[in-house]
Structure 1
Amino acid sequence: MAAASPRSPPSTPLTSQQPPSPPSQLPLRTMPGSYGWPVVGPLSDRLDYFWFQGPDKFFRTRAEKYKSTVFRTNIPPTFPFFGDVNPNIVAVLDVKSFSHLFDMDLVDKRDVLIGDFRPSLEFYGGVRVGVYLDTTEPKHAKIKSFAMEILKRSSKVWLQELRSNLNTFWGTIESEVTKNGAASYIFPLQRCIFSFLCASLAGADVSVSPDIAENGWKTFNTWLALQVIPTTKVGIVPQPLEEIFLHTWPYPSLLVAGNYKKLCNFIDENAVDCLRLGQEEFGLTRDETIQNLLFVLGFNAYGGFSVFLPYLIGKISGDNSGLQERIRSEVRKVCGSGSDLNFKTVNEMELVKSVVYETLRFNPPVPLQFARARDDFQISSHDAVFEVKKGELLCGYQPLVMRDANVFDEPEEFKPDRFVGETGSELLNYLYWSNGPQTGTPSASNKQCAAKDMVTLTASLLIADLFLRYDSVTGDSGSIKAVVKAK
């Protein structure tokens, strides 16, 4: 990390041909940092994290203070009077130490999606869904295998449903730009994503239910927000109101229960093949199948795309460096008239894929990842080894990990070509947005995102589709101000 590293970065980035020093060649160092006094220490860190510093500065300043990318501190949420949540963590802020979070022999992933805080199971109909299971729990393999199978089957309709819903989305944007001179695209994009995912993942057409088509994506927004707000800097509500009203207690599922039940009923009635698959081939109960399908659909897919795709569109539409012309040229060279856009041809678009990867590096959809030590073990950064005790919670803050200057050249710069060519391909070993390296393979025995490859393919298809429709698009991370149709 350029701003947090205590030493000058090497002149060349670390690659798979330049591995870091093995632990035996690194000095053993006492882990710096502390948790402070009970209640007072966690509260002070919480105020820094949410209010006085913000997440990025919170981790950077501590890394600079301790001259280490591995240290102990506290992380929100802290509910001293509302629930038993332990805020103590071991922060891991470089690529090498962060990679330990994906070694299932070293770490346990039980109930640590959002650190030591887990929202009420009532958000998932009382079912402990797969994301909260460790790989050693028997049901994990069944649920992960079910998720991978529905993704595999969805590939038959994925491209068709994506482009069909993008037709509607861009039609809305064009109309608004013509009428008002600009179009806010966040909500239309979320509606597009919701409809596309229901059809492709669950095999459920939202058009059969006008209520779900109109309000289902809004329900997901509320459902997601209630789960993550206690751990997230919102920035809309002024302080100290944000601290008092948003970060002081966990939220009850009752606030969204009625509308969430409508989504459950919609899936129950319309995702017939998926429900049969879960029950007959993977041994899940009907309720387990519904709840896990909704979690994959709502939290993983819809939630992830709702964070990632607006940033991607904004980065491209706001660029004035000539990137749009280069992307347009590549897309049209590969696709010709546009009839040849598919999974195979989009994989030939090296620049398009690199832009997607660089966006995931620069703005990972899930900033924080957690894991708990199964036993005592030694964790290595680039320059030292530290003792970690059984049960300690490791926390990686990806926006800094993915700016590790030992790995990425000029890490604070957005470089569209970063992942192009042989050297760029090697860097994919250190792109960790999916709870594992981009070169990794999701399986029932690990916690890597089952849809890792579909996410990058979908984003690449969206870019290619965009430049088959338009010569250029002007906008930012929230609105489109102008589009020039392809000649």
Structure 2
Amino acid sequence: MAMMASSFAASALPLKTIPGSYGPPVIGPLKDRLDYFWFQGPETFFRHRATNHKSTVFRTNIPPTFPFFRRVDPRVIAVVDCAAFRALFDLTLVEKKDVLVGDFMPSTSFTGDMRVVVYMDPSEQKHAAGKGFCLDLLKRSAGLWESEFLSSADVMLTVIERDLTASSSGSAGFLQPLQKCLFAFLCKSIARTDPAASPEVGECGFLMLDKWLSLQLLPTVSIGVLQPLEEIFLHSFAYPFALVKGDYQKLYSFMDKEAQEVIRIAGEGFGLTKEEAIHNILFVLGFNAFGGFSVFLPGLITTLGRDKTGLQDRLRAEVRGVLAGGRALGFETVREMELVRSTVQEVLRLNPPVYLQFGRARRDFVLNSHETAYQVMKGELLCGYQTLAMRDPMVFDDPEAFVADRFVGEKGRRLLDYLYWSNGPETGQPTTANKQCAAKDYVVATACMLVAEIVRRYDDFRCDDSALSITKLEKAKEGTEAQAASVEAGRPGSR
């Protein structure tokens, strides 16, 4: 017992045993898997167990489980409060090697038989080169990022306007135009490539990424098909790369031919081989950027389009006020839009694009929650469910409600230290020594530009209450159209 006690740092909080259990082999993980995917869903799964154990830290199993096909250890220590969640960013306490989606790791055949940087721990030699390459690409693309996004967003909104006018149902879906917009602008900004250089990639590249990403994550997510078919066919085994090999090879060949500039930077500046550069570019493009935006931005759009509290009017007044006099919409001007930024951050708080964060204990340590401390043993896997952690009632007032101006003002800015969507606090900065999202600031600024462009362009914008579709687009009135034209003329990349 003396040896056990000495391996843990002292804590001023009362030390308790972590509640919960994993149940009997096979049966316990299977029951938790069915609860997670079928009977409860992820949010109820974690909420129910936290309530039952009267603890925001508890033991449970987390999918996927492949008891008959592949060895994956589903046992985790779940963390659902802001205080304990911070341990997942402390790399003196946890290791991030191969735990992007828990103990399960998709086959490296999806990434050229190599581990890309997001699966590496910062202690690994190649992590600094890979993360440094990503940070450098973003720094070089800052100006291009603005103009390419706004240009692609203009195409997207024009397509939606056309589809809505032609629709007999009075609605137009926005997911496909949005994904096409994202794919085009991300290729141009990150990889310095124009998808139009390849007709097939230009037209279907976003679908290729969708399939490539989906096959890797299918065992870990629910897609809402008829149960028990989903459990039998989607969650019982890992899907083989062979199903998307042809599409991935087309994307690889496209980058090999068109992305010579960034491949050169990867080699000369960071010592990466051509293969390492391309596979990392494709992963960052497909998983981090395209995948993350495809999850986050639809929720932002529908939050805006379904609001009945007058938020659009407040956002419109702020945006048009900042852009008055023909100022260009871009990174600089959205920094002045405090309500727009807070709205984006509130959507990230309630619906983070990646809702699970993992870390494996490097050593025995004491995990501090708000009022209790727990002993964690070396090698145990921590699983933070940030959808609940960022609704912590000890940190956020009325935590379940959407409050657009939650992060406005001095008090609101202090709360940013508890906004964790980027694998680190919003007040943190991504570096080669941590695992925080390299594009953290670009994501928020891009989302702000989308909100600003919508309310600048339209006097009314409405979404269907039950689907990813737009039902009303009322263009800016004459007096505002002149202002909008002036803004358009001053926009980066305008002609």
Query: What is the TM-score of this pair, normalised by structure 2?
Result: 0.93
SS in 2 for 1:89: strand
**2: CA distance, partners of 1:318 / 1:338:** 29
Give matches, 1:248-397, under 5 Å. Answer: 248-336=236-324, 338-397=326-385
SS in 1 for 2:315: helix
**1: CA distance, partners of 2:82 / 2:333:** 32
Shift of residue 24, structure 1, vs aligned partner: 2.9
Displaced runs of 4 or more, over 2 A: 22-25, 337-340
Matched, 1:27 2:14: yes
Contact 1:377 1:388 in 2 (8 A): yes
Q: Which residue of 2 aligns with 1:486?
A: 476
Contact 1:23 1:380 in 2 (8 A): no
**2: CA distance, partners of 1:65 / 1:305:** 35
Contact 1:23 1:385 in 2 (8 A): no
Give matches, 1:140-219, under 5 Å. Answer: 140-180=127-167, 181-219=170-208
**2: CA distance, partners of 1:365 / 1:443:** 21
Shift of residue 156, structure 1, vs aligned partner: 2.0
Contact 1:332 1:338 in 2 (8 A): no
Shift of residue 337, structure 1, vs aligned partner: 5.3
The aligned length equals: 465
Alignment counterpart, residue 71 of structure 2, candidates 84, 96, 107: 84
Contact 2:93 2:365 in 1 (8 A): yes
Contact 1:331 1:349 in 2 (8 A): yes
**2: CA distance, partners of 1:348 / 1:160:** 18
Equivalent position amino acid for 1:162 in 2: F
**2: CA distance, partners of 1:483 / 1:326:** 17
Q: Which residue of 2 aligns with 1:17?
A: none
Would the alpha carbon gap of residues 23 and 415 (structure 1) be closer, same or farther in structure 2, given more than 3 Å must change?
A: farther
Shift of residue 23, structure 1, vs aligned partner: 7.0
Equivalent position amino acid for 2:293 in 1: F
**1: CA distance, partners of 2:204 / 2:407:** 39
Alignment counterpart, residue 46 of structure 1, candidates 17, 21, 33: 33
Instruction: Show CA shifts across 1:428-465 (max 9, x none).
Output: 00000000000001000000000000000000011111
**1: CA distance, partners of 2:258 / 2:293:** 23
Contact 1:275 1:289 in 2 (8 A): yes
SS in 1 for 2:70: coil
**2: CA distance, partners of 1:24 / 1:227:** 40
Alignment counterpart, residue 395 of structure 2, candidates 407, 423, 445: 407
Q: Calculate percent identity across the aligned residue pairs.
A: 57
Q: Which residue of 2 aligns with 1:37?
A: 24
**1: CA distance, partners of 2:427 / 2:75:** 31
Which 5+ residue runs of structure 2 have no aligned equivalent? 1-8, 478-495
| RMSD (Å), alpha carbons | 1.0
**1: CA distance, partners of 2:303 / 2:119:** 33
Instruction: Show CA shifts across 1:59-107 (max 9, x none).
Output: 1111111110001110000000111100000001100111100001000
Instruction: Show CA shifts across 1:104-136 (max 9, x none).
Output: 100000000010000000100112100000110
**1: CA distance, partners of 2:44 / 2:171:** 34
Shift of residue 375, structure 1, vs aligned partner: 0.6
Equivalent position amino acid for 1:354 in 2: S
**1: CA distance, partners of 2:474 / 2:38:** 42
Equivalent position amino acid for 2:159 in 1: T
Contact 2:11 2:366 in 1 (8 A): no
Instruction: Show CA shifts across 1:325-368 (max 9, x none).
Output: 00000000000155421211110000000000000001000011
Instruction: Show CA shifts across 1:154-192 (max 9, x none).
Output: 112111101111111011000011111211000110010
Q: Which residue of 1 aligns with 2:485?
A: none
Which range moves more in the overlay, 41-50 or 474-483? Answer: 474-483
SS in 2 for 1:228: helix
**2: CA distance, partners of 1:443 / 1:25:** 31
Contact 2:192 2:261 in 1 (8 A): yes
SS in 1 for 2:78: strand
